[in-house]
Structure 1
């Protein structure tokens, strides 16, 4: 009897994926090129949604600029704890904006439909819950939580609110992820047994050495408010502007970058997550007072489920990489592999050539099965799927998913359940690294073992 995981292709219904797969999709011509297309249904009668930004740092600004590319989206308020960012918001988006250092001023406004939360990680839970309780839809940057014990609180508040909540791992909405999901379900690489992901950077900004404004002081930064849910410390501009380097405020490489890879992998495979987690690494280069590694390796066991067979995952992140930057997710199966990017998927399938391994050749002789004419190795059959020209990208589509769900009382792919299942194994990498121990996790019930 066919396993349930072989059957879910019938129910994919993937928006924007290429045409339904047929055997010709795996043509034997190396380097075959196929194009991915995003099909959108837009109306000229869209309700205007009023949004506000809470946390106007680099990612918050990028999110807001992307949101404003959509039709009938109006930014009406911005909150940040640094004067310079509030001034920049006024210059970039208009002097009519409401500017505040207290996010609760925004939540009191009845006309605001949704908020973007781009704050440091340790504020995500509190602002998310307050926003949901105030009746706002929420776009929260990843990771959804600062610690694993916060996840269920957000999930409960979201369910109670009836509002749309999406986590900002924007690759989730990419054409690449959708195509990879379709290919895996169609058996393009056979049965999945291994996956790996990699982030590489080698620059001050990429390694979180963000610039410190010359006017940074307690006069321009609301330091007291910033630490109001953390331990009290003397003013330190590094802990405010380079917060990712400190565990009181950020979640290290795993929370910032592994979570993207978990999100994509779980979407492609329909997985709930791993049940065993281990990590190691170290501070190799960026010795600037940070508390987190700049090289991190993670290993994960995924159990056999109805959605997928058992497989292993390895993740690595390197901020000392002399190749200057690579990001990828690879899925390996019994018949081939896929390299998954947000705008491209490279499918490689085994061409069936004989092995040059002398041991295997001798064994074949013993069995009387060796052929007189020696076969040669053949390269894998390669098919590349590229996004069509004009593709606006995963970040744009992630906001399209968010706004469409708000307007149509719909759902999003990366809701708090999905977001927590992606964040938890990432954050548990930090625990494994600190404790030098394996961590057990129940991905279905979302709790430590």
Structure 2
């Protein structure tokens, strides 16, 4: 009997929430249990000198986050718009080397690694150029602009012996790590279904980015910008609001679905779906954009060694009154998990059996002795795991993972293979939408069937 109780207490840490990385616990008035998630700091002993290529919203956020880490400095910046180069010096110092040609960055011996925050259409080429030049790479998601580009980047990375990280920063969140642990422990049983939702309403969130008054052909290197795509006359919207156009961006799926794919694949150890379909439309933002502002995706994940077969639905909405709802829900045979970067809420089905061996043994003894059934103490049906306030965030930890790998020759959570497997079904959503058809994908060989 004592052995059973000890086994239960040991198992409690996984099945009802007290994980090794989350020792602090408190109970709410409703009986729901809540746990604090923690992350350890990493030591930094080797200087890392960065260059930023693309000083847009994410390039700036990435650089600010990277510079919060010890022994990391910024030495050079590349952008095609004069205004952003001037702004870079104001933000990060007069010492910076500035250029509109990324090749000038890659020639510099004082650059160890680059952050690529350009439009999606330039991710592949600059990543390959940087790897070939012997630089470590942090490339914003999606890793590539089309599925045809994936193999080239992977080959360049494998041949370079450098560290490349793809920037779906939520992958390094405490929420994703806890959800992965709970799923592997069987907390919700076998996965059968998952769904994700991402919504925005503000003009900037819906890609109505500011167009500066001085943004013109004299301050922007337009010819370089369009040199790897269709030749067009100068268009400030296509430069400053590039996400709205297929020549440069990858739509809602490439910008936002890819985050949800990254989290789901990390939590489930999945390579990806075998069938992709999507539909949607341009419902609100009548601004000449070429991509929908409402998008729905449906995906079929086959059974394999990592997980049972399950289905996934994703939704993205730029016409939303919730001011930015985001979540990933994973549903299993025993319950479900609502997963955010800083929180996981585990919900058990009302008919889910208790995993408490002590209680099971007591029930067997009563049944064998003919005793009348007695009321039981039930485990909480809802358990919440929340990141500690001192946690510096998924973005900070994602860069920490990259820097540690650079310093130790280790691996990263989102290398180009993982990054491509997350990007591919997102990019195929666009093909399904515009071609109005189902698309079959081989997630292991990473090829369209």
TM-score between the two structures when normalised by the length of structure 1:
0.88
Q: CA 1:236/1:164 → structure 2, altered by over 3 Å: closer, same or farther?
A: same
Q: CA 1:87/1:353 → structure 2, altered by over 3 Å: closer, same or farther?
A: closer
Confirm or deny that 1:230 pairs with 2:204.
no
- Residue 330 of structure 1: CA displacement? 0.3
Secondary structure of 1:429's match?
A: helix
Task: Show the 5 A alignment for 1:176-195.
Answer: 176-195=175-194
For 2:404, the equivalent position in structure 1 comes to: 404
For 1:155, the equivalent position in structure 2 comes to: 154
Task: Show the 5 A alignment for 1:164-203.
Answer: 164-203=163-202
For 1:32, the equivalent position in structure 2 comes to: 33
Confirm or deny that 1:93 pairs with 2:92.
yes
Confirm or deny that 1:416 pairs with 2:428.
no
Partner Cα distance (2:210, 2:387) in 1: 34
- Residue 227 of structure 1: CA displacement? 0.8
Partner Cα distance (1:407, 1:116) in 2: 16
Asked if the contact 1:18–1:35 (Cα under 8 Å) also holds between the matched residues in 2, the reply is no
Q: CA 1:25/1:274 → structure 2, altered by over 3 Å: closer, same or farther?
A: farther
Asked if the contact 2:75–2:110 (Cα under 8 Å) also holds between the matched residues in 1, the reply is no
For 1:386, the equivalent position in structure 2 comes to: 386
For 1:359, the equivalent position in structure 2 comes to: none
For 2:448, the equivalent position in structure 1 comes to: 448
Task: Show the 5 A alignment for 1:343-362.
Answer: 343-352=342-351
Task: Show the 5 A alignment for 1:321-332.
Answer: 321-332=320-331
Q: 59-68 or 379-388: which moved more?
A: 379-388
Partner Cα distance (1:95, 1:211) in 2: 25
Asked if the contact 1:199–1:317 (Cα under 8 Å) also holds between the matched residues in 2, the reply is yes
Deviations 1:187-216 (A, max 9, x none): 000110000000011111110000100011
Unaligned runs of 5+ in 1: 1-16, 355-377
Asked if the contact 1:18–1:37 (Cα under 8 Å) also holds between the matched residues in 2, the reply is no
Deviations 1:101-151 (A, max 9, x none): 000000001121100000000000000000000000000000000000000
Task: Show the 5 A alignment for 1:48-63.
Answer: 48-63=47-62
- Residue 30 of structure 1: CA displacement? 3.6
Partner Cα distance (2:447, 2:326) in 1: 29
Secondary structure of 2:148's match?
A: helix
Deviations 1:245-295 (A, max 9, x none): 000000000000000000000000000000000000000000100000000
Unaligned runs of 5+ in 2: 1-17, 354-377
Partner Cα distance (1:265, 1:407) in 2: 28
Q: Superposition RMSD on alpha carbons, in Å?
A: 2.1
Partner Cα distance (1:318, 1:222) in 2: 33
Q: 127-136 or 228-237: which moved more?
A: 228-237
Partner Cα distance (1:38, 1:213) in 2: 40
Q: CA 1:306/1:91 → structure 2, altered by over 3 Å: closer, same or farther?
A: same
- Residue 380 of structure 1: CA displacement? 7.5
- Residue 25 of structure 1: CA displacement? 12
Confirm or deny that 1:340 pairs with 2:339.
yes
Partner Cα distance (2:384, 2:161) in 1: 41
For 1:365, the equivalent position in structure 2 comes to: none
Secondary structure of 1:328's match?
A: strand
Q: CA 1:70/1:21 → structure 2, altered by over 3 Å: closer, same or farther?
A: closer
Asked if the contact 2:274–2:442 (Cα under 8 Å) also holds between the matched residues in 1, the reply is yes
Asked if the contact 2:197–2:315 (Cα under 8 Å) also holds between the matched residues in 1, the reply is yes
Q: 226-235 or 255-264: which moved more?
A: 226-235
For 1:104, the equivalent position in structure 2 comes to: 103
Partner Cα distance (2:342, 2:27) in 1: 19
Q: CA 1:187/1:20 → structure 2, altered by over 3 Å: closer, same or farther?
A: farther
Secondary structure of 1:352's match?
A: coil
Partner Cα distance (2:102, 2:62) in 1: 17
Task: Show the 5 A alignment for 1:362-377.
Answer: none
Partner Cα distance (2:379, 2:19) in 1: 26
Partner Cα distance (1:412, 1:25) in 2: 33
Deviations 1:29-69 (A, max 9, x none): 841011111012325xx111100000001110000000000
Deviations 1:418-443 (A, max 9, x none): 00000000000000001110000000
- Residue 228 of structure 1: CA displacement? 1.0
Asked if the contact 2:22–2:36 (Cα under 8 Å) also holds between the matched residues in 1, the reply is no
Q: CA 1:25/1:427 → structure 2, altered by over 3 Å: closer, same or farther?
A: farther
Partner Cα distance (2:382, 2:19) in 1: 17
Secondary structure of 1:190's match?
A: coil
Asked if the contact 2:42–2:400 (Cα under 8 Å) also holds between the matched residues in 1, the reply is no
Q: Which runs of 4+ in 1 moved over 6 A?
A: 24-27
